[in-house]
A and B are shown apart, each in its own frame.
Chain A
């Protein structure tokens, strides 16, 4: 029983995060104050920010873990690092899609267009999400082995260069995406808004960490299954 408890730790953490995300969404939509109607064309659409910003934050954490897993696999050849790579690329894809999708909805309402190909922040973030999709789908198309792991770990490592670029993009080139509103000297966030946003950040982080833990366990089981299949085939010869 104790072993079972240990094994589903990731799922429990993910469920807690999921519950927190649901509460954040409810608070963001129903409780948080509205923004000034003079500052936005579509002030109500701004509420999607409580989903968009925490998912972007969680995606950055997932991409960071992806980088750690990739680099550690590359230099140490550790199965643990590969499992981290696998799980965090999936988490990065899920959270990245949440962020891009919510951003498009807000963009369509506020700017009149869902996307701008000249905005550096939008594009670098989308590329990071596509990189995760590439890693997830590419890995499923290949037999597991050192060649597969090396190739995708290399993409994971070099792709990480986009993370700092995405982070500083709105500071260097503010084309369409709004600049930072948290932890800046402008301090434009109302305290109630900050509470919901903070809860969102915690919840999405918890969800991502739980997903990565569960994903790593699942990958370990898959690897074990493959090993057992190999042993079975060896014995059948």
Chain B
């Protein structure tokens, strides 16, 4: 029978070394498996490989018998809880909202936060929290899918105790024991003796395995409500006005610069259409505004285990680029619905492509150091062709 968490024959390269070589592990329902060992021994690699964040050279990772990732590049996204060593939270998310998004269902989030001493922070932005409080939010985001589920769910926790006070570590150990009693499978990496003590199996790297019998905990799932429709990107964009502050301002500046040099009443044909559509192109070239936010604390990695589509605010982009085109049209007294629609679509599509290009560099050690903008001139050609087509 397959375990809830299964890593089979996994070979993983990181940097210039082979961290895992045909390595396998299986965590069954009701088991807590703890990975222990000194820093750099490969604990985080196991957790990140099992959650599908690291490509495999060989083997596969499955959770609840559904594929997470294999060496052929296939990926799936089954439900599981994940807390990585980086907190993976965006500073502009609200505490309560983040836990609800991680659960995917409505539930009494205030009650849960009260247990962990965070209820007074429920409406606060995560950026306002202390390091320990932020760690608790990251931890609860990893635990909540199992806490609300009556069927076994996998939970992957990478050094969840780091930065927590003694009481919280004790609470974490009790929670893990209770989740195991509910049939959930837990794979945790830790140096802390209190986490090691509640584990059914301890694997010490390079390799030494010990098994323990544990007292049973008591699991009572948190009552969940309706599934939650998560539009995190749009919500964050409204809260931070990141799209307006970056893309919108760039579009307005382009319009302003053109107005400083050109007399709109004298423009006609191709030049007129180029004038009207240029602000939308510039706004789009600034890229996905949510991508920037998701680079904080490596939040993009956590969200990538939930959805194949990166967090975005594409509807807002359509409105913003449409608005910029409308403004440019109004200035030239050339209100043309076709042009406004073209501006909205062109701007949003440009933004999406720049976002995808940026996303493709996230595996790099220094994603901010590569000059992805060097590739953006490819987006001027379609814009220029649209200008030509609309002029004809």
Contacts and interface: CB of A to CB of B under 8 A. Distances in A.
**Contact count band on B:** 20 to 34
Interface of B: 13-16, 55, 57, 360-361, 363-366, 369-372, 374-375, 377-378, 380-381, 383-385, 387-388
B371 A134 contact: yes
Contacts of A143: 15, 365-366
Contacts of B371: 134, 137-138
Interface in A18-69: none
A120 B388 CA distance: 13
Contact of B16 (A127, A130, A145): A145
B295 to A, nearest CB: 16
A77 interface: yes
Contact of A147 (B364, B372, B380, B385): B364
Given A117-B384, A145-B365, 8 more contacts: A77-B57, A117-B380, A120-B381, A130-B377, A146-B14, A146-B16, A150-B363, A151-B361
Contacts of B14: 145-147
A134 B374 contact: yes
Contact of B372 (A120, A134, A142, A145): A134
Contacts of A155: 360
B16 A131 contact: no
Interface string A83-108: 00000000000000000000000000
A142 B366 contact: yes
Contact of B365 (A120, A126, A130, A142): A142
A192 interface: no
B380 to A, nearest CB: 5
Interface residues of A, number: 26
A157 to B, nearest CB: 12
Nearest to A159: B375
Given A143-B365, A147-B15, A127 B378 contact: yes
Contacts of B366: 141-143
Contacts of B364: 142, 147-148, 151
A194 interface: no
A134 B385 contact: no
B55 A151 contact: no
A73 B372 CA distance: 22
Contacts of A117: 380-381, 383-384
A131 B370 contact: no
Nearest to A141: B369
A144 to B, nearest CB: 6
Nearest to A226: B16
A134 B364 CA distance: 14
Contacts of B365: 142-143, 145, 147-148
Nearest to A158: B360
Contacts of B377: 123, 126-127, 130
A148 B385 CA distance: 34
B61 to A, nearest CB: 17
Contacts of A150: 55, 363
Contacts of A77: 13, 57
A130 B374 contact: yes
Contact of A134 (B57, B370, B387): B370
A150 B313 CA distance: 28
A141 B370 CA distance: 7
Contact of A151 (B16, B360, B375, B388): B360
